[in-house]
């Protein structure tokens, strides 16, 4: 069966520090991968998605970047965190067929102080 | 881009009361998906509807897809405290897409 792993679960980082969140998927090949951000009490904002290795699409301009160095690995990064980067970050995957459901990781709660 | 409007944003109910959340789109959809996110947790897929007028049930939950495939609802009968969480709809546009558009979610608070 397919599983998705996301770490760390919680993170407290000072303003200006770098960020690296990692997400890996097991049990499937060539998944579509997504990074979402959820502000407290808010909806899901799509940050990046990827349909293949090295293929990254950005949905909103921001202080973050994403990379997909391997088929089932998706990384969210920042060189210098801002206070506004605080939030709940969710990685998700879906199958290669259109209109399929998404499966979410456990999420990373990031607090920038 | 496509937008999916979801209402209400919050709903407080007494345990045993019913609950409904609605999703609306100005454009025709390929499908509608529903997810549940427990407090502190991650969204979990509940169900997908693809046919015009489709109705599906999961125990006390009833999901409907409108005849015009532009709106959907999730109805919970006789809420329980275990129903607490945020319910999201997500949709793909007519013609298909790899990227689901999520509604803003409805947070359900059940008072015992």
Q: Which residue of B has its CA nearest to A42?
A: B104
Per-residue pLDDT in tens (0 to 9) along chain A, 113 residues: 889 999 999 999 999 999 999 999 999 999 999 999 998 777 899 999 999 999 999 887 678 999 999 999 999 999 999 999 999 999 999 998 777 899 999 999 999 99
Residue B81 has pLDDT above 90, yes or no: yes
- Chain B residue numbers with beta carbons less than 8 Å from the beta carbon of A34 are 99
The radius of gyration computed from the CA coordinates of chain B, to the nearest angstrom, equals 13
- Chain A residue numbers with beta carbons less than 8 Å from the beta carbon of B35 are 102
- Chain B residue numbers with beta carbons less than 8 Å from the beta carbon of A46 are 99, 102
Note the pLDDT of residue A98: 78
Note the pLDDT of residue A48: 95
Contact B102 A44 (CB under 8 A): yes
Percentage above 90 pLDDT, chain B: 88
Q: Is A40 on the interface with B (CB under 8 A)?
A: no
Residue B65 has pLDDT above 90, yes or no: yes
The per-residue b/e assignment along B58-76, b for 16 or more CB within 10 angstroms, e otherwise, is: eeebebbbbeebbbbbbeb
Contact A99 B45 (CB under 8 A): no
Q: How far B36 CA lies from chain A's nearest CA (Å)?
A: 11
3 state DSSP class of B106 = strand
Q: Is A69 on the interface with B (CB under 8 A)?
A: no
Distance (Å, rounded) from C-alpha B47 to C-alpha B70? Answer: 17
- Chain A residue numbers with beta carbons less than 8 Å from the beta carbon of B92 are 98-99
pLDDT higher for B13 or A41?
B13
Note the pLDDT of residue A76: 97
- Chain B residue numbers with beta carbons less than 8 Å from the beta carbon of A51 are 98
Q: Which residue of A has its CA nearest to B106?
A: A43
Note the pLDDT of residue B93: 84
pLDDT mean across residues, chain B: 94
Element holding B88 (H helix, E strand): strand B85-93
Note the pLDDT of residue B1: 62
Assign 3-class secondary structure to chain A.
CCEEEEECCEEEECCCCCEEEEEEEECCCCCEEEEEEECCCCCCEEEEEEEECCEEEECCCCCCEEEEEECCEEEEEECCCCHHHCEEEEEEEECCCCCCCCEECCCEEEEEC
């Amino acid at each position: 069966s397919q599983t998705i792993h996301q770490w760390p679960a919680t993170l407290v980082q000072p303003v200006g520090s770098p960020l690296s969140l990692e997400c890996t998927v097991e049990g499937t090949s060539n998944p579509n991968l997504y990074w979402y951000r959820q502000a407290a009490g808010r909806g899901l904002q799509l940050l990046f998605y990827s349909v293949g290795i090295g293929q990254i699409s950005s949905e909103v301009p921001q202080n973050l970047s994403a990379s997909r160095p391997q088929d089932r690995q998706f990384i969210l990064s920042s060189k210098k965190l801002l206070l506004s980067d605080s939030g709940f970050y969710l990685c998700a995957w879906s199958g290669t067929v259109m209109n399929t459901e998404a499966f979410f990781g456990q999420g990373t709660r990031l607090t920038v102080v | 881009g496509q937008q999916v409007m979801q209402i209400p944003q919050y709903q407080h109910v007494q345990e045993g009361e019913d609950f409904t959340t609605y999703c609306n789109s100005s454009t025709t959809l390929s499908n509608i998906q529903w997810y549940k996110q427990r407090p502190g947790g991650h969204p979990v897929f509940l169900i997908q509807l693809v046919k015009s007028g489709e109705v599906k049930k999961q125990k006390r939950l009833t999901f409907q897809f409108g005849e015009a495939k532009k709106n959907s609802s999730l109805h919970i009968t006789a809420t329980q405290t275990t129903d607490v969480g945020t319910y999201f709809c997500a949709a793909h546009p007519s013609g298909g897409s790899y990227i689901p558009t999520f509604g803003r979610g409805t947070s359900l608070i059940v008072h015992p």
